[in-house]
Amino acid sequence: MKLQTPARLGLYLLMAPLLLWLVVLIFLPHVDMFLLSISEKVATRTYQTSAANYMEFFSEPLYWRTFARTAIMSIAATALTFVIAFPVSYYIAKMLRGRLKAFLFLLCLVPFWVSELVRTFGWMILLRESGIFSNLLQWSGLASGPVEMLYNDATIMVGLVYTSLLFMVVPLVSTLDSLDDALVEAGYDLGGNGFTVMKEIIIPHAMPGIVSGCIIVFMLTLGNYLTPVLLGGKDSLWFTAQIYTQIITRFNWELGAAFGFLLLGLSSLIVWAGLKISRQTLTETLG
Amino acid sequence: MPDDVENFDLECRELVRLYGQFAAVDNVSFGVPQGDFFSILGPSGCGKTTILRMMAGFDQPTSGDIHIKGRSVLGVPPNKRPVNMVFQHLALFPMMTVAENIAYGLVRKGLGKSEIGEKVQSALDRIDLPTSGEKKISQLSGGQRQRVAIARCLVLEPAALLLDEPLGALDLKLREHMKVELKQLQNQFATTFVYITHDQSEALVMSNHVAVMNEGKFEQIGTPQELYYNPNTAFVASFVGDSNRWHGTVSAQDKDGVKVVSADGMELLASPAGGVPLCQGAEVDIFVRPESVVLSLEEDRVADMDNRISGDLVSILFNGANSRALVRDPRSGGELDVALPQTGEFSSLKRGQVVHLGWGMAQAQAFAAKSNAA
């Protein structure tokens, strides 16, 4: 099939920004990263192709433990975000009408007008040893000395959930909005109780929104650097921090690139598994 | 309405529902006998859906009581009430198959798997979709969805089935077909139906009893024939069926009827509706059905009728068996809507031709007009 020349030109022009974006900003860097990840430094300025960088990952427990820990905590953070965001979204989408609905939706958005760095510093002001919560506890007599609430896993989790909440609420609100109230009423009318209506009608209807929210939140969390490092400190052991260390601190680009590819593989694998378990397809979820 | 209270499947007593100051349902009482096809007919916004939602349990009455099978259901949540509802847009569950939709209520009742399977299959047989159990809802046609929505409720053997204008979304042809089918389904399952509609033909065709509702109140409850031939109020006369309508003043009265001078100067003989006496000088509305007017080409044929008009044929509105002739009265300039029998007698009728109309006093119902101050 041949397109007429002007139509074809128009098509190319329209495609150009997309192709540029894909090739220059995504494809080329990844090719380069991949080549880096399979090269091994044998002497100064001499490299050879090998899987040594990947082997190092598996032979050093710190690396793959950090990797596994990051994956598990990201899954936990995604699940926690869902559990918190679902009632909020249901309330906004189904219980409220008109201006109050728009207002509450906007409230979820407000924290994102501030940069992530500033928001995270905000948490540090609240939670550090000399921070507001610590002083409040001492003043009220609940604690006898300063309490350090930073630099532990729970704090990292709080920060991650807080950062991710909006990205779960938006897809959930939009799918729940499209749920006809009559379906919920019919669910009750035919003898269902709150639990069965939720399980049989509301959740299946919201499934595409749930899955797309979870994918977005999971990817954001897995690739997050700022929140785990600032709130978790040296003990955060987040895999992105390992990549940073290799590339910036140790100037070992080859190992850093290999880590990057492992992270990409991991996130793809977990998203694929999530889609399989929830019996959704990517097109259904994003469409 | 039968007086035997024990026989009512569903009963509302002095039901009131206020929204702020506005009474959506204003002191409504009625009973639906077992096995009845009961319709509530009214214009949109008259409060009929509110009544249905209160019976289903989705809305609470401000005062009054609702009894189902002789027991008050006030405070009983929708999932514990022995009534089921067919929603306006059916509300079939799109994420389930046809069989799963029908099984939904049975599963909630906690029946065994094999029993559910049997009941679902027999329901599918009865609605004439025996092999469609595995289909998705989106694969069914409008009429098939309708039947699934009804079967989904009827497998639960409810005391009454509540239907909220379920035919509204269908096209005309299918709607006519579904009217008959709904009536058949009701006979087949022998369940009490409470049917909400703004379409008078749906209510008249299917129902044993019809309540005509307006502005939160019941204007009249009766059989379709009673409503059509003996309306109690001007609203019922105008809402149920078509009518020619005159507004006028009573100039004379005797025991048989009243003589009324219409606003445009015609003299009409009419009988007071419901036997309510009308005194001289009272403002009245007169309603005459198009089909109770005799149309003739010879003046003699209508000579002995109480009301006679000779007029010009303005136009013929051909609509098969429901064809109408529009006739202008030369004295007043008013137009009359007259049924045009398709017997062949009037096939040569032309516009502008002079025709003779006549109708009896009994066919003209006079209602005291509501005072304009109100």
ipTM attached to this prediction: 0.81
Same-domain pairing of B291 and B309: yes
Is B188 buried (19+), middle (13-18) or exposed (0-12) by CB count in 10 A? exposed
Is B374 a member of any domain? no
Edge-to-edge strand ranges of the sheet holding B294-296: B294-296, B354-359, B307-317, B324-328, B335-339
Which two three-digit tokens encode residue A226? 């700022």
Across residues A89-98, what is the average pLDDT?
Answer: 91
Q: Is A192 on the interface with B (CB under 8 A)?
A: yes
What's the confidence (pLDDT) of residue B319?
Answer: 84
Arithmetic mean of pLDDT over chain B: 88
Instruction: Among B192, B221, B236, identify where a domain stops.
Output: B236
Instruction: Please give the pLDDT value at position A287.
Output: 58
Domain-located, residue B105? yes
Whole-number pLDDT of residue B268: 86
B226 and B273 co-located in one domain: no
Task: Give the β-pairing of B209-214 and B217-222.
Answer: antiparallel
Does B90 share its domain with B215?
yes
Q: Residues of A numbered 199-218 whose beta carbons fall under 8 angstroms of chain B's beta carbons: which are they?
A: 200-201, 204-205
Rounded to a whole number of angstroms, the distance from the CA of B176 to the nearest CA of chain A is 25
Residue B129 within a domain = yes
Asked if B108 lies within 8 A of A185 by C-beta distance, the reply is no
Residue pair A266/A67 in contact by the 8 Å Cβ criterion: yes
Dist. CA A264–CA A261, nearest whole Å: 5
In a domain, B373, yes or no: no
CA A83 to CA A130: how far, in whole Å? 31
Q: Do B159 and B255 fall within a single domain?
A: no
Q: Among residues of chain B, what percentage have pLDDT more than 90?
A: 44
**pLDDT value at position B58?**
93
Crossing angle (nearest 10°) for helices A253-278 and A52-59: 70
Final residue in a domain of this structure, among B236, B269, B302: B236
The alpha carbon of residue B85 is apart from the nearest alpha carbon of chain A, in Å, by: 7
Of residues B278, B273, B277, the one with CA closest to residue B249: B278
pLDDT band with cut points at 50, 70 and 90 for residue A154: very high
- Mind listing the pLDDT tens digit for each residue in B278-321? 888 888 888 998 888 888 888 888 888 888 888 888 888 888 88
Residue A189 has its nearest CB partner, among B78, B89, B109, at B78
Q: Are residues B278 and B134 in the same domain?
A: no
Q: Is residue B33 part of a domain?
A: yes
- Whether A195 and chain B come into contact, CB under 8 Å, resolves to no
pLDDT tens for B132-157 read: 999 999 999 988 999 999 999 999 99
Q: Which positions ≥6 away from B96 have C-beta within 8 Å?
A: A200, B104, B137
Same domain, B161 and B251: no
Q: Are strands B217-222 and B8-19 parallel, antiparallel or unpaired?
A: unpaired
Give the pLDDT confidence score for residue A173 in this predicted structure: 94
Sorted by where each starts, the structural domains of chain A and their CATH numbers stand as 151-287 (1.10.3720.10)
Nearest to A201 among B58, B88, B93 (CB): B93
Within 10 A of A122 (CB to CB), how many other CB atoms are there?
13
- Tell me which DSSP letter residue B206 carries: H
Contact residues on chain A for B156, CB-CB shorter than 8 A:
190-191
CATH number of the structural domain spanning residue B345: 2.40.50.100
Q: Tens of pLDDT along A175-228?
A: 999 999 999 999 999 999 999 999 999 999 999 999 999 999 999 999 999 999
Considering the domain architecture, whether residues B67 and B120 belong to the same structural domain is answered as yes
User: What pLDDT does A3 receive?
Assistant: 60
CB A124 within 8 A of CB A230: yes
Q: Output phi, psi for B190, to 5 deg.
A: 50, 45
Query: pTM of the predicted model, to two decimals?
Result: 0.80
> Is the domain of B59 the same as that of B142?
yes
Q: Which residues in B lie closer than 8 A to residue A180 (C-beta atoms)?
A: 89, 91
Residue B148: its chain A contacts at CB < 8 A? none
Q: Which of A180, A192, A204 sits opposite B91 (nearest CB)?
A: A180
- Domain residues for the domain of B213 are 5-236
* Residues of chain A with C-beta less than 8 angstroms from the C-beta of B88: 182
Is B20 within a domain? yes
pLDDT of residue A269: 93
Of B190, B181, B87, nearest to B127 (Cα)?
B181
B191 shares a domain with B290: no
Domain assignment of residue B54, yes or no: yes
> What pLDDT is stored for residue B348 in this prediction?
80
What's the mean pLDDT in B7-32?
91
pLDDT digits (tens, 9 = 90+) for B58-115: 999 999 999 998 889 998 999 999 999 999 999 999 999 999 999 999 999 999 999 9
| B168 plus B299 within the same structural domain | no
Q: Looking at B236, B269, B287, which one is the last position of a domain?
A: B236
- Kindly state whether residues B219 and B250 are assigned to the same domain: no
Same domain assignment for residues B208 and B330: no
* Domain tally, chain B: 2
